[in-house]
Amino acid sequence: MAADAVLGVLGHNVHRSRLLKRRHGRTNDIEKAFETPTGKVVTSVPQKTRHSRQLLVCLAFLVMAFVWMASSTVGRMSGGSTSLLGGSKGNTEVDAIVTLAMRGFRSTLMAHTLREAGHWQRPIFVLTDNPALEQEHLHETNVTLIDVSKRLHPTFLSPSEEAAYRHQYDAVQDDFAIKWQKTQIFQFLPPHIHTILFIDSDIITVRSLQSFMKDIAQNVQSDECELSAYPERWYTNSPFSKYRESGDWNSGMMVLKRTLSHDLLSEWNRTIVTAPFSKRDQPKLTQVIHKLGTHVCPLPNRFRHVLYAADFVDRRSYQWGLRNPTFYHFASQKKVSDLWNPTINLLV
């Protein structure tokens, strides 16, 4: 429906452009501007220029799509060891899906779509600093809420580290507490939960998880994978990105295991709350992986399963019918608690 609306606007613009040409009696290459129904000014450009731009866009899309598919399948070396899995089989299934809903971030859409669109029947745990608010919106979704409001800050820091931490927390508290809580997950979960899929609360599910769970089965079963995650998008580490030095792995979706991931989470726990601080948790994660030599297994088929709302290529590939992802990751549009028709924002 959202795609039809977009195409309708574009068709209206083209029709109006033609009317303007007839009205002025001109069909040459002079640029003409007209307003769309939303008030946006669109400019008609020479035909050769339009064809050249279209060709460049198509070529750019093909190149970037190839990079995306290659990176999602193979992954990048991160300083620790990386493989395409192997080893003997451990736990054969994901025991639960876990997320964080703190400092204004909500899990409403994430949990609701996991149940409705993803057909996920196993436990969902939401670690939150406001369980009353979450319960108000999740009372029909069968979610286990865990109150972390009394353990928002580390207690192991020295006085100087504590002062630096408090200064950083006051500056960026909206997400700094959430970063640290990622390292604490298993301390809050029941002891029988051994293998989890952690996903950020700004990720929604749009189709059944069946194919995704089948694709990550080796990651879950392998006793070599201390961490499974998607490689970070290449452009986040480019000189032009506001997230320069983002690290090698994206922590928005991870397979974690109580025993195998213990050393990684313990070291990440301390590193993330000590200087030098980072705006994102990925650089500290990469630092710990390098330090410990953590064995990281890339999650497979990123291009097939995850669409980033902030990613131009991802959005256009969805518009053009080339993608049917399992998840939408809103990334830079994280507070989506009341956004019940998110495809509109993805397509416009």
Domains of the chain and any CATH numbers: 96-346 (3.90.550.10)
pLDDT by 10-residue block (mean), the chain, 348 residues: 41 42 39 38 48 62 52 42 46 90 87 95 95 83 92 89 86 72 95 97 94 96 96 62 63 96 96 85 91 96 88 82 89 46 40
pLDDT tens digits for range 84-111: 444 444 467 999 999 999 887 889 889 9
Q: Residue 75 is which amino acid?
A: G
CA–CA separation, 77 and 291 (whole Å): 14
In the structure encoding, which two tokens stand for residue 250, read together?
A: 């994206």
| CA gap 212, 206 in Å, rounded | 12
What strands lie across the sheet with 124-128, from one edge to the other?
81-82, 295-298, 227-231, 249-257, 195-199, 96-101, 124-128, 144-147
What is the structure's pLDDT at 117? 95
Is residue 178 within 8 Å of 77, Cβ to Cβ? no
Q: Tokens 């195409």 appear where? A: 7
Average pLDDT across the chain, whole number? 75
Q: With H, G, I as helix, E, B as strand and everything else as coil, classify residue 12.
A: helix
CA distance 156 to 267: 13
Q: Please give the pLDDT value at position 28.
A: 36
Inter-residue contact 94 to 212 (CB < 8 Å):
no
Inter-residue contact 291 to 285 (CB < 8 Å): no
Question: Of the candidates 268, 281, 273, which has an alpha carbon nearest to the alpha carbon of residue 160?
Answer: 273
Tokens 């769309």 belong to: 36
| 276: preceding bond cis by omega (within 30 degrees) | yes
**Residue 198 token pair:** 């952690």
Tokens of 144: 């286990």
Percent of the chain with pLDDT over 90: 40
pLDDT at 122: 96
pLDDT of residue 44: 43
Helix intervals (H) in the chain: 2-24, 47-74, 108-116, 131-138, 159-181, 185-188, 210-215, 217-221, 262-271, 282-292, 302-305, 312-319, 343-347
| Beta-strand relationship, 96-101 and 195-199 | parallel
- Given a contact cutoff of 8 angstroms between Cβ atoms, the answer to whether 287 and 272 are in contact is no
Could you give the CA distance from residue 43 to residue 26 in angstroms, rounded to a whole number?
Answer: 15
With 0-12 / 13-18 / 19 or more C-beta atoms within 10 angstroms meaning exposed / middle / buried, residue 4 is exposed
Q: Under DSSP, is residue 48 helix (H, G, I), strand (E, B) or coil? A: helix
pLDDT computed for residue 69 by the predictor: 47
Output the CA angle 269-209-65, nearest 5 degrees: 80
Residues 6+ apart with CB under 8 A from 348: 2, 6
In the chain, the N- to C-terminal Cα span, in Å, equals 12
